[in-house]
Amino acid sequence: MKAKVAINGYGTIGKRVADAVAAQDDMEVVGVVKTRPSFEARIALEKGFALYTAAKENIEDFKKSKIEVSGTLEELLDKADIMIDATPGDTGEEYKKLYEKHGVKAIWEGGEEHELTGFSFNSEANYSDALGRDFARVVSCNTTGLVRVLYALDISFGVRKARVTLMRRAADPNDIKTGPINALIPDPIKLPSHHGPDVNSILPDIDITTMAVKTSTTLMHLHALNIELKKPCKEDDIIKVFEKRPRIMLVSSKDRIKSTAEAMELAKDMGRPRGDMWENVVWKDSIAINKGELYFFQAIHQESDVVPENVDAIRAMIEMEKDGASSIKKTNKALGIKSN
């Protein structure tokens, strides 16, 4: 039997997770929730997703726009095993009570605090801890990207210390309200940033400090990492470790991928839906051991790297697959991510 998945908040993350769930052979989308009629609502219907409204009062708006609605969020909850809550950050608490009332499991995204669920998820680092859980949070795009590389390095060499500078995209490409359009903003000014503690919500023993700068781009985040490892190693050893990971893509500037713009072009040329890049893009030729410490750059596609993690979290929480590596393989295969 397929797991019945509902999506509340059909925006940047929600619509991608819906497509990723629909691509799996062991789960199905039973409905998606929109607050207002929009082109996204129309396309959801065209894709065959049943559309529900967040509140009863909104049904009339949809009717006026001639968009067919199957019911309200509460009615959808009666049909679902699990809810992906991809509503904007900090709305989680309000919905949690409703999901609890209907006995539906739920996954929130990185805009919510760890405390909402008491459990933060990453497919490679803690899949087995998610088995059978009622509530979980898939950490943010930046944290997912950091956990993937730090976990890989920690199990291979031991991470003594990680110091990371995040150059964050200021807004998503569809966002016409957020800036800056011509500035670099230290964010937050008071260091360190929240990303380090967020990594510790999954990898509690890693000594990590982060700082972040908001940059006038919408494409991707760029991370500059400096890591002290416990075991001495060479650049090639790092490359070998990254090559074996399921969601790291090694690229090279010699291949003329020298920027986030070219990394996004690569995803489009690969025929990825919406031009998404689900993997961390690590520059192979940026990997350097200098004075005994590791340095490298990676780019993170904020709109999509958490998508496969949501699919794995569903499998773990519903206990459809006990082994994390098998779930990752299954998700990757269905999406078209090359498994190493």
Three-class SS of residue 168?
strand
Say whether residue 13 binds ligand NAD (CB under 6 A). Answer: yes
x-marked contacts with ligand NAD along 108-137 as a string, rule CB under 6 A: -xxxx-------------------------
Q: The tokens of 48 are what?
A: 């065959």
Q: Which 35-74 positions form the footprint of ligand NAD (CB under 6 A)?
A: 35, 54
- We find the least distance from the C-beta atom of residue 98 to ligand NAD, in angstroms, to be 10
Say whether residue 141 binds ligand NAD (CB under 6 A). Answer: yes
Catalogue the E-assigned strands of the chain.
Answer: 3-8, 27-34, 51-53, 71-72, 82-85, 105-108, 120-121, 135-138, 159-169, 185-186, 208-215, 221-229, 248-251, 280-283, 288-290, 293-300
User: How many amino acids of this chain bind ligand NAD (CB under 6 A)?
Assistant: 25
- We find the least distance from the C-beta atom of residue 304 to ligand NAD, in angstroms, to be 8
Catalogue the E-assigned strands of 115-176.
Answer: 120-121, 135-138, 159-169
18, 136, 141, 171: the active-site residue: 141
Phi and psi at residue 109, to the nearest 5°: -105, -175
Quick one: 8 or 260, whose CB is closer to ligand NAD?
A: 8
Say whether residue 276 binds ligand NAD (CB under 6 A). Answer: no
Kindly give the pairing relationship between strand 82-85 and strand 221-229: unpaired
Phi and psi at residue 28, to the nearest 5°: -140, 155
Which listed residue (81, 279, 303, 312) binds ligand NAD by CB under 6 A?
Answer: 303
Tell me whether residue 141 is one of the annotated catalytic residues.
yes
Rounded to a whole number, what is the distance in angstroms from the first to the last CA of the chain?
A: 29
Which listed residue (120, 122, 140, 193) binds ligand NAD by CB under 6 A?
Answer: 140
Say whether residue 89 binds ligand NAD (CB under 6 A). Answer: yes
Site residues for ligand NAD per CB under 6 A? 8-14, 33, 35, 54, 86-89, 91, 109-112, 140-141, 172, 302-303, 306
Q: Catalytic amino acids?
A: 141
